[in-house]
Amino acid sequence: MSIKIIFLLFFIFIFSVQAQAQRNLGARPTDTGGMLMAEQSCYDVKWYDLNIEVNPQQRSIQGVLTLNAVIVQPVEFIVLDLDTLLSIDSVFIKNARNVFQIFKFERRGWKVWISLGTMYQPGTNVTLSVAYGGKPRTALRPPWVGGFVWSSTADGHPWIGVACQNDGADIWWPCKDHPSDEPDSVRIHVTIPQSLICTSNGRLRSITQNTNETHTYHWFVSTPINNYGLSINIAPYKTIEADYKSITGEIIPVTYWVLPENVEKGQKLFTQILEHLRFHEELLGPYPFRKDKYGVAETPYLGMEHQTIIAYGNNYKNNDWGFDFLHHHELSHEWWGNLVTAADWTDIWIHEGFGAYMQQLYVEKLHGVKAYHQSMAVSRPKIRNAKPVAERRARSLAESYLVAPDYIESDGDNYNKGTWILQTMRYLIGDKDFFTSLRRMTYPDSASERIIDGRQCRFVSTDDYLATVETISKKDLAWFFEVYLRQPVLPKLISKIEGTKLLLRWEAPNGLYFPMPVAVQFGKDIKRIDMSRGYAEIAIPKNTHPVIDPDQWILMDVSK
């Protein structure tokens, strides 16, 4: 064997080892969601209290997580999730005398098994604390491969963020890492050097000055919140603030935490922040978290929909349509993801597809329907159709959101195919019913729009949207969901001209029923052709050539 071949094989081996290490670090130990084990489905978290100290120099954290839960099924163990990179010092449980008592625990990979010592019965209230710490996972490609993001400002001050949607909140604090169990409230206490500022979810209650050149920020989230939506942002921030009057008449504090070197750019973005907020309120109903705030923090990564403290890192760039799509998209998640949340990651398209469609509707508002269709056309070639958008089974986020086998690339269909599914629904049931369905997915009725104590937050599923659009449109639409969401293959429209007749026929995957009406243009006239039998035969007017779906409203297979 020649020396060149030996060196070539050596480099291939090194590359494969590095690639595998990248996958191991950034991908699959850090999945989230999926099927819940019995020892986790047995309890319902009521609140979390996270007390954490962040050491920027050592890139380490030390903290205590306290949770309160109600037992819903008989159980002898409570199981939490926590990254193996973080160690646990001790676990305490509050006993019948209201005193914390040390309890035994066992680490089994990412699971923390806590022995209760006896069988706890439904209705029992449990309060436990976990003291933990270490050097948390560093984000390799935030926010997609997440963890702590350790960065610096222009003048060298620490600039720190956390993103964990694809990985789970357990990469930085002990929790029940599943979207189906949101706490009713969260207290967050963050100790950092006095030269820095910490912003987080909810409202700032106070700041404690400590004797060791640190101070502690005390934040409180007064409503339910998904685990990955909890985050902290640390930097020598400046603030841009305004009181925003909601469509309800309530005053909402709006704050942008901006790096000192970007204050002037931040002022320009802040104008858009308020405009985007008004657009979403008018379309979807009032901002859900009026009791807390609307906040945006400049972050060293692109962005994330952390509830009431949106992460923004788009470098103040407007898109081709003249607005900052990143802020607009992350803001949309205050409704799609934070107000209404998928109880299982199999329905994440409700977060991403609905959220992404808001940007298309904003293009339409700013520039009209022609620009809207131009913008939609850009996303059409990105649709993969590799797997169902909303499969009928529990799925982890990686299964729903990422591409196998590496699980470090977004599938994209939750966004792009999701927007086209919504556009097709809009075409099918008409603007009036469609926009009503958006409003009733966020708020089931006008009375719920006035609630701000947490009851406005709820879990939703794909079947909930089916029920909503059927109720509003008074149409049977189960077939639409079967074809577009429950399996991956697109329907195909077969067209043929025979003499003076246009023949149309739908070919739906697996022989599924698909009576989608089709718009056909003859000259200046557009006719909506009934396809309830799956096919149609239309006489072609003289001196015209039929154009099928002239505005491209329908999501279908357009391959030859």
Per run of 10 residues, the mean pLDDT along the chain (length 560 residues) is 42 35 44 92 98 98 98 96 97 87 94 94 96 97 93 97 95 97 98 98 98 97 97 98 98 98 98 98 98 98 98 98 98 98 96 98 98 97 96 92 77 96 98 98 97 97 98 98 98 96 97 98 96 97 95 94
Phi, psi of 18 (to 5 degrees): -65, -40
Which tokens in the block code for residue 131? 């003291």
Q: Is beta strand 60-71 parallel, antiparallel or unpaired with respect to 43-55?
A: antiparallel
Specify the pLDDT at position 538.
97
Which long-range CB contacts under 8 A does 540-548 form with residues at least 24 apart?
A: 540/497, 540/500, 540/501, 540/502, 546/497, 546/502, 546/520, 546/521, 546/522, 547/520, 547/521, 548/493, 548/495, 548/504, 548/518, 548/519, 548/520, 548/521
Specify the pLDDT at position 14.
32
Angle, alpha carbons 10-14-16 (nearest 5°): 115
Q: How far apart are CA 130 and CA 65, in angstroms?
A: 5
CB–CB of 352/418 below 8 Å?
Answer: yes
Which tokens in the block code for residue 166? 């694809």
Specify the pLDDT at position 96.
77
Which tokens in the block code for residue 124? 């029992």
Specify the pLDDT at position 29.
60
**SS3 per residue for 305-332:** CCCCEEEECCCCCCCCCCCCHHHHHHHH
How large is the greatest C-alpha to C-alpha distance in the chain, in angstroms? 90
Which tokens in the block code for residue 267? 């002022």
Beta-carbon contacts of 474 under 8 Å, excluding residues fewer than 6 positions away, are: none
